[in-house]
Amino acid sequence: MNYFRLFDLPETFELDLTELGSRYLSLQKRFHPDNFAAASERDRLMSVQQTANINDAYHSLKQPLLRAEHMLALRGLKISNEQRSFTDPLFLMQQMELREQLAELQDEADPEAALFAIEQQIQQQRKQLLKALSEALVEQSAEQDQLAAELVRKLKFFYKLQQELELIEQQLQD
């Protein structure tokens, strides 16, 4: 299913999230199962299925990583659940250094300041990768799609790091 078509939106990485939200509400209103309470069993089931599709599509298009994965899948490149190792040694070293910094946070004189510095670094890297991903997805070519797929893989590392950072932040506050 093409989620962009479902919402009648252009197939682009840079989406207007406000427009996406309003189209989501409009579709939800139109296909809500309550509207089909007096309909046939078949129509009620179709309404439930369509509502589930709308929810899945909205969830995917709303989040940049899932949106990029969907765009790549539409182009024939499925990477959503793959397990692939990296060949970029600089990126791997950077990830190892960030993980070491996270592991050593408790030993810092000012763990909150160190946490903030790491968070800034992660956000900066993620922002740069998202910009590069947006640019890579503009042109539809095998080479650009491969580049976009590699950027998605890298971004997944930063999103995982962000989640770990949030857990550590909660632990520091407790």
Q: How many residues does the chain have?
A: 174
Written as one letter, the residue type at 125 is Q
pTM score: 0.86
Predicted confidence at residue 50, as pLDDT, reads: 94
pLDDT per residue of the chain (174 residues) written in tens, 0 to 9: 999 999 999 999 999 999 999 999 999 999 988 889 889 999 989 999 999 999 999 999 999 999 999 999 999 999 877 766 667 889 989 999 999 998 888 888 998 899 999 999 999 999 999 999 999 999 989 999 999 999 999 999 999 999 999 988 888 887
Predicted confidence at residue 106, as pLDDT, reads: 80
Predicted confidence at residue 85, as pLDDT, reads: 65
Cα–Cα distance measured from residue 125 to residue 151, given in angstroms and rounded to the nearest whole number: 11
Angle of the 41-62 helix axis to the 17-31 helix axis, nearest 10: 170
Cα–Cα distance measured from residue 104 to residue 77, given in angstroms and rounded to the nearest whole number: 38
Predicted confidence at residue 136, as pLDDT, reads: 97
